[in-house]
Chain A
Amino acid sequence: MDSHARVVLDDADIGRAIRRIAHEIVEKARGTDDLVLLGIPTRGVALAERIAVALESIEGATVPVGSLDITLYRDDLRLRPARPLEETSIPAEGIDGRVVVLVDDVLYSGRTVRAALDALNDLGRPAAVRLAVLVDRGHRELPIRPDYVGKNLPTSVDEMVRVEVTEVDGVDRVAIWEGE
């Protein structure tokens, strides 16, 4: 890791944040009936799976988890070479009439979430869509706000925020550092 990086959340912090988010989801939804968790690849999927584990330990019920790749719905496709696609897997129950909780690692401009909402629109008609993020770093460019936040992290636009999860990176850590 970069020497200028500053770790803002360690593995214990991330674990606590996920358990709190799970409790808040249960409280707001009054249980786990009709819930579907959809992680946005790559790290959002790992976080969604962990939230599902936490939900199960709280309520004792299994919540379906899927992944939703938003690459084909991005608004900046023409600014970079074509990107490889990530996996989209919608649970067999579908999303019609269910409460979908989108899960992502960092909320920044809000453009990823905008793309995810468009993608959901083509997949079905959820009863409601909520947004859970591990880190909200501010600097929104669209009128989008999260329902569940692991940590609010005020940053400057010059700073970079990186979320690492064991499933992908071998370590649980959120770090922030000065970009060039």
Chain B
Amino acid sequence: MQHLLSAGDLSLEEAVLILDTAAELAAVTDRSVKKLPTLRGRTVVNLFFEDSTRTRISFELAAKRLSADVINFAAKGSSVSKGESLKDTALTLEAMGADAVVIRHGASGAPHRLATSGWIGAPVINAGDGTHEHPTQALLDAYTLRRHLRGGAGDLAGVRVAIVGDILHSRVARSNVLLLQTLGADVTLVAPPTLMPFGVESWPCRISYDIDEVLPDVDAVMMLRVQAERMQAAYFPSALEYSRRYGLDVARMAALPSDAIVLHPGPMNRGMEISADVADSPRSVMVEQVANGVSVRMAVLYLLLGGMKEESA
């Protein structure tokens, strides 16, 4: 593993290794000294071309817990807003000696371009690119599922997961489908036909347009945010109709098996895809997902940076 660009690049062994490593690193959070010396003297650059609070903070905290130095580079107010290209930004970071680059970009494929262009030699971690992928989100979701449904060990063979909502614009959904399928889980995507991506039939998962048909037979349901900022067309008649047909409220939650859990990648639109009662119920694991995100990102940083630099293939 030289970069982390797509959840689909991970083999079953690599995915389980990341989850196992995260499980060990999670213990650091409970200690009085929440820091490990492992990446002392390394520099991690957070290169965020798109707004993000939780992902950037999560990566920053993960890097700092491993004693790496962190530079936050936000596009707003930087030379990027003056017209600098991705290439020139990358060359600048390379010249400054970045040891890893965490990139979020509005354009699908930007992390791949950065990793394969030869502009920089450092490992590249995709922190979300356009509507393409968000692999560390999928890893933290898998970690959370594994902890609750598989006792925190092994893979996710046979775990049934429904992913509900704006699949079309969701990099979280795509990364989750790829990773959960690698881990052996059984994924069903639920959305109105207008919010299903083109070619979704070829994805390794099931598809449904009816949430009520799916809920009684899943171990976990992942609600996605309706991404109003990415919607340039009318994908559903009204917010109220979407909420009625695809939102998770208390009545729908009651249809879930008694030990099923509810996930949401955040930020939530309470009252839209998820009702406040559901969001605050003990079956919702959103707060834990945030904590797990730090552990999983520590694991990725450690596995990419903690050893000898791999020869580029």
Which A residues are within 8 Å of any B CB, using their own CB? 69, 72-73, 77-88, 118, 121-124
**CB<8 Å pairs between A and B, sample of 19:** A69-B24, A72-B36, A72-B37, A72-B38, A73-B38, A77-B306, A78-B309, A81-B308, A81-B310, A82-B305, A82-B307, A83-B306, A83-B307, A84-B20, A85-B21, A87-B24, A118-B37, A122-B35, A124-B32
A73 touches B36 (CB 8 A): yes
B36 touches A77 (CB 8 A): no
A78 proximity list for chain B (CB < 8 A) = 307-309
From the candidates A79, A85, A88, A122, name the one contacting B20 in the complex (CB within 8 A).
A85
Q: How far is the CA of A10 from the CA of B32 in the complex (A)?
A: 42
Decide yes or no whether B303 CB sits under 8 A from chain A: yes
B308 touches A79 (CB 8 A): yes
Q: Which residue of B lies closest to A83 (CB)?
A: B307
Which B residues are within 8 Å of any A CB, using their own CB? 17, 20-21, 24-25, 27, 31-33, 35-38, 66, 302-310
Q: How far is the CA of A78 from the CA of B309 in the complex (A)?
A: 7
B305 proximity list for chain A (CB < 8 A) = 82
B37 proximity list for chain A (CB < 8 A) = 72-73, 118
B35 proximity list for chain A (CB < 8 A) = 122
A122 touches B307 (CB 8 A): no
A79 proximity list for chain B (CB < 8 A) = 308
B308 touches A80 (CB 8 A): yes
A118 proximity list for chain B (CB < 8 A) = 37
Q: How far is the CA of A77 from the CA of B25 in the complex (A)?
A: 16
From the candidates B21, B31, B310, name the one contacting A84 in the complex (CB within 8 A).
B21
Query: Given contacts A84-B17, A85-B25, A124-B32, are A72 and B302 in contact (CB under 8 A)?
Result: yes
Q: How far is the CA of A78 from the CA of B31 in the complex (A)?
A: 26
User: Smallest CB–CB gap between B184 and chain A, Å?
Assistant: 20
A122 proximity list for chain B (CB < 8 A) = 31, 33, 35-36
User: Smallest CB–CB gap between B188 and chain A, Å?
Assistant: 33
B307 proximity list for chain A (CB < 8 A) = 77-78, 80-83
